[in-house]
Amino acid sequence: MSSTAPSPDSVTFCADLVRSHDFPRYAATLFAPAAQRRALLALYAFNVEIVRVRDQVSQPLPGEIRFQWWTDLFSGMVHGSAEGNPVAAELLRAIRDFNLPVEPLSLLVDEHQFDLYNDPMPTLTALEGYLAATSSALFGLAAQILTPPSEVVEHLARHAGLAQGIVQIIANLPRDASRRQLFLPQQVLASHDCQMEDVFAGKETPALRAVLEQLAGEAQRHLTTALSLLTDVPAAVRPAFLPLSQVGADLRRLSQPGRNPFAVQPASRLRTLWTLWRASRSREFTK
C-alpha cells in the first residue's frame, strides 16, 4: 500500500460521489467526528463505486475486469495506478489509518459480481448471505473506523445491514425488474405463487404484494433487533448506524397500503437530513 498522501481533491471527489449516490450515508457522516469523517467517506465512496458497476457496463466482462482491479488492489498487486484513482487512494489511507481488514472489502467486491448477471436470487438464506457480505459488512467497517471491533457491534452491524439491504431491494424493484434482474428470492416467490415474468412485466398482483409484505416483515424484524442493540454499543460508534433511521422511514413509506411497487419514489434530501438529525438527538442514539 502506498504511503503517499492523497490530494485534497480526492477528499472532495469522495464526498461528492457519496453525496450524489448515497445521500443517507453522506448525511450520517456529518454527525461523525471530523477525524473519522474522511475515512467514512472513503469507505462509502468505495461502496458507491462497486454498486454502480452494473449501471456502467453493458456486458458482464467489463464489470468483472473492474471488480478484478479492486481485488488486485486489496491483494497488493496494484501499485502506481491506485494513486491515480481518488477513491482507491482515500480507501488505502483509511485502511492504513484505522487498521481496517481487507478481507471483508474483497469479499464485498466478490459478492457484487452477482449484480452483473441476471441469475435470480434462489432463497431467502442466499439473500441474507449476500446482504451480510455487502450491507452488513459496510456497517461493520464503518463502525470499526469509530470504535474498536466487538461482538456486539458485529451483531448489530449484521442486523442493520440485513434491514437496510432488504428495504433497498424493495425500493429498487422498478429498476431491477426493468432489466430482468431479480433480488426477490425465488423461494419466496414460489411460496406465494408469484411468477417471475409478471414481476419483469411490471404487473402489480396480489401474489407480488404478498411477497413484498413478507420481505418487509423480515426487514422490520432485523431493524427492530438492530435498534434494540444500539444501547449496548458505545455512543461513539452510533453515527455509523444513523442510516437506520432512514431505513425505518423508507420501510414505512414502502409499506403504505395501495402503493404501486413499480412506482419510483425517491426520498427528498431535506427529509433525509431531518430524519437523521432527529435520530441523532433521540434516546436510541444518545443514551
Confidence of residue 283 (pLDDT cuts 50, 70, 90): confident
Higher-confidence residue of 285 and 152: namely: 152
Average pLDDT over residues 188-200: 97
The pLDDT-based confidence of 8 (bands split at 50, 70, 90) is low
Please report which confidence band the pLDDT of residue 267 belongs to, taking 50, 70 and 90 as the band edges.
Answer: confident
Q: Mention every residue, 6+ apart, whose C-beta is less than 8 A from residue 85.
A: none
Mean pLDDT of 41-48: 98
For the chain, list the domains and their CATH numbers: 1-101 (no CATH), 118-287 (1.10.600.10)
The 10s digit of each residue's pLDDT in 140-153 is: 999 999 999 999 99
Check residue 83 and give its pLDDT.
66
What pLDDT score was predicted for residue 109?
Answer: 97
Query: Residue 6: what pLDDT?
Result: 46
Asked whether the CA dihedral 145, 149, 152, 155 is positive or negative, the reply is: positive
The whole-number average pLDDT for the span 213-224 is 98
Percentage of the chain modeled with pLDDT above 70? 94
3-state secondary structure of 268: coil
pLDDT in tens, 10-23: 999 999 999 999 99
| pLDDT value of residue 287 | 65
Determine the pLDDT at residue 51: 96
What percent of the chain is modeled with pLDDT above 90?
87
- DSSP-assigned states of every residue in 205-234: -HHHHHHHHHHHHHHHHHHHHHHHHGGGS-
Q: What's residue 204's pLDDT?
A: 95
Q: What is the pLDDT at residue 3?
A: 39
pLDDT tens per residue, range 72-131: 999 886 655 666 799 999 999 999 999 999 999 999 999 999 999 999 999 999 999 999
d(CA 25, CA 213): 26
Set of cell numbers at residue 174: 422498478
Instruction: Give mean pLDDT, residues 5-13.
Output: 76
| 36-45 mean pLDDT | 98
User: Which pLDDT belongs to residue 210?
Assistant: 97
pLDDT of residue 2: 38
Query: For 263-267, which contacts have Cβ atoms below 8 Å and span 24 or more sequence positions?
Result: 263/174, 264/174, 264/175, 265/171
Query: What confidence score (pLDDT) does residue 282 get?
Result: 87
